[in-house]
Structure 1
Amino acid sequence: MANEARPVPCDIGDRFEYGGLGYEVQVEYIKAYVCKPSSSTEKAVIVIQDIFGWQLPNTRYIVDMLAANGYVAICPDFFVGQKPWEPSDDWSTFNDWLKTRDTNKVDREADVVLKYLKEQCSAKKIGVIGFCWGGSAVHHLMLKNPELKAGVAIYGKFKIHANLSRLAYVSAACSSNLYCI
Protein backbone atom coordinates (compact mmCIF):
# COMPACT_ATOMS: atom_id res chain seq x y z
CA MET A 1 0.00 0.00 0.00
CA ALA A 2 1.14 3.56 -0.57
CA ASN A 3 2.63 5.25 2.46
CA GLU A 4 4.56 8.39 3.43
CA ALA A 5 7.89 6.91 2.32
CA ARG A 6 6.54 5.78 -1.04
CA PRO A 7 3.38 7.72 -1.86
CA VAL A 8 2.80 6.07 -5.24
CA PRO A 9 3.41 2.31 -5.44
CA CYS A 10 2.10 1.92 -8.97
CA ASP A 11 3.34 2.12 -12.49
CA ILE A 12 1.14 2.64 -15.52
CA GLY A 13 0.71 -1.07 -16.19
CA ASP A 14 -0.81 -2.08 -19.50
CA ARG A 15 -2.24 0.90 -21.33
CA PHE A 16 -5.57 0.07 -22.97
CA GLU A 17 -6.22 0.98 -26.56
CA TYR A 18 -9.68 2.33 -25.86
CA GLY A 19 -11.62 5.15 -27.46
CA GLY A 20 -14.35 5.61 -24.88
CA LEU A 21 -18.13 5.85 -25.00
CA GLY A 22 -18.47 9.19 -23.23
CA TYR A 23 -17.52 12.74 -24.12
CA GLU A 24 -15.43 15.61 -22.82
CA VAL A 25 -17.06 18.62 -21.18
CA GLN A 26 -15.90 21.87 -19.66
CA VAL A 27 -17.14 22.19 -16.07
CA GLU A 28 -16.34 25.79 -15.19
CA TYR A 29 -12.50 25.81 -15.25
CA ILE A 30 -12.12 22.01 -15.26
CA LYS A 31 -12.07 19.66 -18.24
CA ALA A 32 -13.77 16.33 -17.62
CA TYR A 33 -14.78 13.08 -19.27
CA VAL A 34 -18.44 12.10 -18.72
CA CYS A 35 -20.43 9.01 -19.58
CA LYS A 36 -24.13 8.59 -18.83
CA PRO A 37 -26.21 5.42 -18.57
CA SER A 38 -28.85 4.57 -21.15
CA SER A 39 -31.68 5.37 -18.71
CA SER A 40 -32.00 8.35 -16.39
CA THR A 41 -30.66 8.06 -12.86
CA GLU A 42 -30.05 10.14 -9.76
CA LYS A 43 -26.86 8.22 -8.95
CA ALA A 44 -23.41 9.48 -9.90
CA VAL A 45 -19.77 8.61 -9.30
CA ILE A 46 -16.78 10.91 -9.48
CA VAL A 47 -13.71 9.04 -10.72
CA ILE A 48 -10.41 10.56 -9.58
CA GLN A 49 -7.45 9.69 -11.76
CA ASP A 50 -4.08 8.35 -10.76
CA ILE A 51 -0.83 10.21 -11.44
CA PHE A 52 -1.11 9.42 -15.16
CA GLY A 53 -4.03 11.80 -15.62
CA TRP A 54 -7.68 12.03 -16.51
CA GLN A 55 -7.16 11.24 -20.22
CA LEU A 56 -5.67 7.79 -19.66
CA PRO A 57 -7.83 5.30 -21.64
CA ASN A 58 -7.77 2.84 -18.72
CA THR A 59 -9.46 5.41 -16.48
CA ARG A 60 -12.03 6.31 -19.11
CA TYR A 61 -12.86 2.62 -19.39
CA ILE A 62 -13.75 2.63 -15.66
CA VAL A 63 -15.98 5.68 -16.22
CA ASP A 64 -17.76 3.92 -19.07
CA MET A 65 -18.12 0.74 -17.03
CA LEU A 66 -19.79 2.69 -14.20
CA ALA A 67 -22.20 4.26 -16.71
CA ALA A 68 -23.01 0.81 -18.12
CA ASN A 69 -23.99 -0.15 -14.57
CA GLY A 70 -26.46 2.72 -14.17
CA TYR A 71 -24.39 5.65 -12.87
CA VAL A 72 -23.57 9.02 -14.34
CA ALA A 73 -19.79 8.89 -14.16
CA ILE A 74 -17.35 11.76 -14.49
CA CYS A 75 -13.56 11.91 -14.45
CA PRO A 76 -12.47 15.52 -13.99
CA ASP A 77 -8.94 16.78 -14.53
CA PHE A 78 -8.05 17.21 -10.87
CA PHE A 79 -4.60 18.43 -11.99
CA VAL A 80 -6.45 21.35 -13.64
CA GLY A 81 -4.31 21.47 -16.76
CA GLN A 82 -1.02 20.59 -15.09
CA LYS A 83 0.97 17.86 -16.80
CA PRO A 84 0.27 14.33 -15.57
CA TRP A 85 3.17 12.04 -14.73
CA GLU A 86 4.60 10.23 -17.74
CA PRO A 87 6.07 6.73 -17.45
CA SER A 88 9.28 8.08 -18.99
CA ASP A 89 9.62 10.89 -16.41
CA ASP A 90 12.60 10.83 -14.05
CA TRP A 91 11.43 9.32 -10.74
CA SER A 92 14.04 11.37 -8.88
CA THR A 93 11.86 14.43 -9.65
CA PHE A 94 8.61 12.80 -8.52
CA ASN A 95 8.42 14.39 -5.06
CA ASP A 96 8.81 17.87 -6.56
CA TRP A 97 6.13 17.06 -9.15
CA LEU A 98 3.83 15.77 -6.40
CA LYS A 99 4.17 18.94 -4.29
CA THR A 100 2.19 20.84 -6.93
CA ARG A 101 -0.59 18.24 -6.95
CA ASP A 102 -1.67 18.01 -3.31
CA THR A 103 -4.51 15.55 -2.68
CA ASN A 104 -5.55 17.62 0.34
CA LYS A 105 -6.27 20.60 -1.91
CA VAL A 106 -8.96 19.18 -4.17
CA ASP A 107 -11.99 20.60 -2.34
CA ARG A 108 -12.64 23.46 -4.76
CA GLU A 109 -12.55 21.13 -7.77
CA ALA A 110 -14.77 18.60 -6.00
CA ASP A 111 -17.31 21.33 -5.22
CA VAL A 112 -17.39 22.41 -8.89
CA VAL A 113 -17.95 18.81 -10.02
CA LEU A 114 -20.63 18.18 -7.36
CA LYS A 115 -22.48 21.30 -8.51
CA TYR A 116 -22.31 20.10 -12.13
CA LEU A 117 -23.60 16.63 -11.23
CA LYS A 118 -26.50 18.03 -9.21
CA GLU A 119 -27.50 20.82 -11.60
CA GLN A 120 -26.71 19.34 -15.02
CA CYS A 121 -27.18 15.61 -14.38
CA SER A 122 -29.88 15.66 -11.64
CA ALA A 123 -27.67 13.58 -9.34
CA LYS A 124 -28.81 13.20 -5.75
CA LYS A 125 -26.66 10.29 -4.55
CA ILE A 126 -22.99 10.85 -5.34
CA GLY A 127 -20.00 8.70 -4.55
CA VAL A 128 -16.32 8.88 -5.39
CA ILE A 129 -13.65 6.38 -6.40
CA GLY A 130 -9.97 7.13 -6.81
CA PHE A 131 -6.92 5.25 -7.96
CA CYS A 132 -3.45 5.75 -6.48
CA TRP A 133 -3.12 9.58 -6.24
CA GLY A 134 -6.91 9.72 -6.58
CA GLY A 135 -7.30 7.24 -3.73
CA SER A 136 -5.55 9.67 -1.42
CA ALA A 137 -7.88 12.41 -2.63
CA VAL A 138 -10.85 10.14 -1.81
CA HIS A 139 -9.69 9.79 1.80
CA HIS A 140 -9.45 13.57 2.09
CA LEU A 141 -12.83 14.22 0.48
CA MET A 142 -14.64 11.58 2.53
CA LEU A 143 -13.39 13.23 5.71
CA LYS A 144 -14.39 16.71 4.56
CA ASN A 145 -17.44 16.45 2.32
CA PRO A 146 -20.72 15.07 3.71
CA GLU A 147 -22.38 15.33 0.27
CA LEU A 148 -20.41 12.26 -0.82
CA LYS A 149 -22.38 9.17 0.15
CA ALA A 150 -19.64 6.57 -0.42
CA GLY A 151 -15.97 6.46 -1.28
CA VAL A 152 -13.57 3.83 -2.55
CA ALA A 153 -9.83 4.43 -2.47
CA ILE A 154 -7.79 1.99 -4.51
CA TYR A 155 -4.25 1.99 -3.04
CA GLY A 156 -4.23 5.65 -2.11
CA LYS A 157 -1.81 6.94 0.52
CA PHE A 158 -3.53 7.07 3.87
CA LYS A 159 -2.66 9.53 6.64
CA ILE A 160 -3.79 9.01 10.21
CA HIS A 161 -6.47 11.60 10.92
CA ALA A 162 -8.39 12.47 14.07
CA ASN A 163 -11.78 12.02 12.37
CA LEU A 164 -11.51 8.47 11.03
CA SER A 165 -15.02 7.51 12.12
CA ARG A 166 -16.45 8.85 8.84
CA LEU A 167 -14.10 6.59 6.86
CA ALA A 168 -15.02 3.54 8.91
CA TYR A 169 -18.54 3.58 7.50
CA VAL A 170 -18.28 4.81 3.96
CA SER A 171 -14.82 4.26 2.55
CA ALA A 172 -12.81 1.21 1.63
CA ALA A 173 -9.06 1.42 1.18
CA CYS A 174 -7.68 -1.33 -1.00
CA SER A 175 -4.03 -1.98 -1.74
CA SER A 176 -2.75 -3.30 -5.02
CA ASN A 177 -2.97 -6.85 -3.66
CA LEU A 178 -6.67 -6.25 -2.91
CA TYR A 179 -6.36 -6.37 0.86
CA CYS A 180 -9.05 -4.01 2.09
CA ILE A 181 -9.01 -2.19 5.40
Structure 2
Amino acid sequence: MSGPECCSNPPILNPNAGSGHVEKLGALNAYIAGSPNSKSSVLLVSDVFGYEAPNLRKLADKVAAAGYFVVVPDFLNGEPYNPENPDRPLPIWIKDHGTDKGFEDAKPIIEAIKSKGVSSVGAAGFLLGC
Protein backbone atom coordinates (compact mmCIF):
# COMPACT_ATOMS: atom_id res chain seq x y z
CA MET A 1 0.00 0.00 0.00
CA SER A 2 1.15 3.53 -0.70
CA GLY A 3 1.99 5.95 2.08
CA PRO A 4 0.07 9.07 3.12
CA GLU A 5 1.91 11.22 0.58
CA CYS A 6 -0.15 9.51 -2.11
CA CYS A 7 -3.25 11.34 -0.95
CA SER A 8 -1.70 14.77 -0.46
CA ASN A 9 -2.86 16.03 -3.85
CA PRO A 10 -6.30 14.53 -4.52
CA PRO A 11 -8.03 15.15 -7.84
CA ILE A 12 -11.11 17.32 -8.10
CA LEU A 13 -13.74 14.72 -8.90
CA ASN A 14 -15.99 15.50 -11.85
CA PRO A 15 -18.96 13.30 -12.77
CA ASN A 16 -19.09 15.02 -16.18
CA ALA A 17 -15.43 14.55 -17.12
CA GLY A 18 -14.55 12.64 -20.27
CA SER A 19 -16.16 12.07 -23.62
CA GLY A 20 -17.82 8.80 -22.57
CA HIS A 21 -20.95 8.33 -20.51
CA VAL A 22 -22.10 6.68 -17.28
CA GLU A 23 -24.48 3.76 -17.31
CA LYS A 24 -25.43 0.90 -15.02
CA LEU A 25 -23.42 -2.19 -15.92
CA GLY A 26 -23.78 -5.29 -13.82
CA ALA A 27 -24.92 -3.83 -10.50
CA LEU A 28 -22.70 -0.74 -10.56
CA ASN A 29 -22.50 2.58 -12.30
CA ALA A 30 -19.65 2.63 -14.78
CA TYR A 31 -17.96 5.17 -17.02
CA ILE A 32 -18.12 3.76 -20.55
CA ALA A 33 -15.95 4.86 -23.49
CA GLY A 34 -15.54 3.37 -26.93
CA SER A 35 -17.72 1.21 -29.11
CA PRO A 36 -19.59 -1.72 -27.58
CA ASN A 37 -19.14 -3.35 -31.01
CA SER A 38 -15.44 -3.81 -30.29
CA LYS A 39 -14.38 -7.41 -29.73
CA SER A 40 -11.88 -6.37 -27.03
CA SER A 41 -12.55 -4.59 -23.78
CA VAL A 42 -10.44 -3.06 -21.05
CA LEU A 43 -11.70 -2.83 -17.49
CA LEU A 44 -9.94 0.06 -15.73
CA VAL A 45 -9.89 -0.05 -11.94
CA SER A 46 -9.75 3.27 -10.12
CA ASP A 47 -7.53 4.27 -7.25
CA VAL A 48 -9.02 5.38 -3.91
CA PHE A 49 -10.48 8.52 -5.51
CA GLY A 50 -12.87 6.56 -7.69
CA TYR A 51 -14.23 6.55 -11.19
CA GLU A 52 -14.97 10.29 -11.34
CA ALA A 53 -11.26 11.21 -11.32
CA PRO A 54 -10.70 13.23 -14.53
CA ASN A 55 -7.26 11.71 -15.30
CA LEU A 56 -8.68 8.20 -15.10
CA ARG A 57 -11.49 9.11 -17.48
CA LYS A 58 -9.00 10.80 -19.80
CA LEU A 59 -7.00 7.55 -19.85
CA ALA A 60 -10.18 5.58 -20.55
CA ASP A 61 -10.94 7.86 -23.50
CA LYS A 62 -7.42 7.34 -24.91
CA VAL A 63 -7.68 3.57 -24.63
CA ALA A 64 -11.11 3.71 -26.29
CA ALA A 65 -9.64 5.78 -29.14
CA ALA A 66 -7.27 2.86 -29.76
CA GLY A 67 -10.31 0.67 -30.54
CA TYR A 68 -11.27 -0.83 -27.19
CA PHE A 69 -14.57 -0.85 -25.33
CA VAL A 70 -13.52 0.62 -21.97
CA VAL A 71 -15.37 0.23 -18.69
CA VAL A 72 -14.46 2.04 -15.46
CA PRO A 73 -16.77 0.68 -12.74
CA ASP A 74 -17.61 2.54 -9.56
CA PHE A 75 -16.20 -0.17 -7.31
CA LEU A 76 -16.34 2.33 -4.44
CA ASN A 77 -20.14 2.62 -4.68
CA GLY A 78 -20.16 6.40 -4.63
CA GLU A 79 -17.81 6.56 -1.61
CA PRO A 80 -14.38 7.65 -2.86
CA TYR A 81 -11.75 8.40 -0.24
CA ASN A 82 -11.96 11.94 1.09
CA PRO A 83 -8.71 13.06 2.75
CA GLU A 84 -10.61 16.03 4.24
CA ASN A 85 -12.75 13.71 6.39
CA PRO A 86 -10.96 13.28 9.74
CA ASP A 87 -13.48 10.64 10.85
CA ARG A 88 -12.42 8.28 8.04
CA PRO A 89 -8.64 8.22 7.71
CA LEU A 90 -7.27 6.04 4.91
CA PRO A 91 -6.70 2.87 7.03
CA ILE A 92 -10.31 2.98 8.25
CA TRP A 93 -11.70 3.80 4.80
CA ILE A 94 -9.76 0.93 3.23
CA LYS A 95 -11.33 -1.58 5.63
CA ASP A 96 -14.71 -0.79 4.03
CA HIS A 97 -13.38 -0.96 0.46
CA GLY A 98 -11.33 -4.13 0.31
CA THR A 99 -10.16 -5.83 -2.84
CA ASP A 100 -12.27 -8.89 -1.97
CA LYS A 101 -15.46 -6.87 -2.48
CA GLY A 102 -14.14 -5.38 -5.72
CA PHE A 103 -13.29 -8.87 -6.97
CA GLU A 104 -16.86 -10.04 -6.36
CA ASP A 105 -18.34 -6.84 -7.87
CA ALA A 106 -16.23 -7.35 -11.01
CA LYS A 107 -17.83 -10.69 -11.88
CA PRO A 108 -21.25 -9.33 -13.01
CA ILE A 109 -19.52 -6.44 -14.78
CA ILE A 110 -17.39 -8.84 -16.80
CA GLU A 111 -20.47 -10.93 -17.62
CA ALA A 112 -22.31 -7.78 -18.77
CA ILE A 113 -19.35 -6.83 -20.98
CA LYS A 114 -19.26 -10.31 -22.50
CA SER A 115 -23.02 -10.19 -23.12
CA LYS A 116 -22.36 -7.30 -25.52
CA GLY A 117 -20.38 -9.68 -27.75
CA VAL A 118 -16.93 -8.77 -26.49
CA SER A 119 -14.63 -11.78 -26.80
CA SER A 120 -11.71 -10.65 -24.64
CA VAL A 121 -11.53 -8.58 -21.47
CA GLY A 122 -8.33 -7.23 -19.95
CA ALA A 123 -8.00 -5.27 -16.72
CA ALA A 124 -5.64 -2.62 -15.44
CA GLY A 125 -5.43 -0.42 -12.39
CA PHE A 126 -3.44 2.75 -11.85
CA LEU A 127 -2.73 5.16 -9.06
CA LEU A 128 -3.69 8.34 -10.91
CA GLY A 129 -4.94 10.55 -8.12
CA CYS A 130 -1.55 11.39 -6.67
Which of 9, 21, 24 is residue 22 of structure 2 equivalent to? 24
Q: Which amino acid is 1:31 matched to?
A: N
Change (3 A) 1:41 1:85: same
The answer to whether the 8 Å contact 1:16/1:58 transfers is no
Query: 1:79 offset after TM fit, Å?
Result: 1.3
Can you give the 5+ residue segments of structure 2 that lack an aligned partner in the other structure? none
Q: Check 1:43–1:52 CA distance in 2 against 1; reply closer, same or farther (3 A cut).
A: same
2:51 maps to which residue?
54
* RMSD, aligned α-carbons: 2.7
Q: Distance in 1 between matches of 2:118 and 2:75?
A: 20
For the pair 1:70 / 2:63, whether they are aligned, the reply is: no
Extract unaligned runs of 5+ from structure 1: 133-153, 155-175, 177-181
- Return the alpha-carbon distance in structure 1 between the equivalents of residues 84 and 113 of structure 2: 35
Deviation at 1:36, TM superposition (A): 1.1
1:124 aligns with 119
Distance in structure 1 (CA, Å) of the matches to 2:61 and 2:110 = 19
SS of the residue corresponding to residue 70 of structure 2 reads strand
1:99-151 CA deviation, whole Å, 9 max, x = no partner? 0000133222111111111112x21111101124xxxxxxxxxxxxxxxxxxx
Specify the alignment match of 1:90 in structure 2.
86
> Match for 2:123: what amino acid?
V
Where does residue 33 of structure 1 map in the other structure?
31
Aligned residue for 2:6, secondary structure, equals coil
What is the alpha-carbon distance in structure 2 between the residues aligned to residue 97 and residue 110 of structure 1?
A: 20
User: Given that residues 15 and 58 in structure 1 are in contact (C-alpha distance below 8 angstroms), is that contact kept between their aligned partners in structure 2?
Assistant: no
Task: Work out which of the residue numbers 99, 110, 114 in structure 2 matches 1:114.
Answer: 110
Bigger-Rg structure (1/2): 1
Q: Percent identity?
A: 25
3-state SS, counterpart of residue 42 of structure 2: strand
Deviation readout 1:10-31 (Å, 9 max, x if unpaired): 2345659873111111124211
1:34-59 Cα deviation digits (max 9, x unpaired):
0114x942110001111011111111
Tell me: higher relative CO, structure 1 or 2? Use CA pairs within 8 A at least 6 residues apart.
Answer: 2
Aligned partner of 1:29: which letter?
A
Corresponding residue of 1:138: none
Larger deviation, residues 17-26 vs 41-50 = 17-26
- Count of residue correspondences: 127
| Contact 1:47/1:63 (<8 A) preserved | yes
Aligned-pair CA distance for 1:61: 0.8
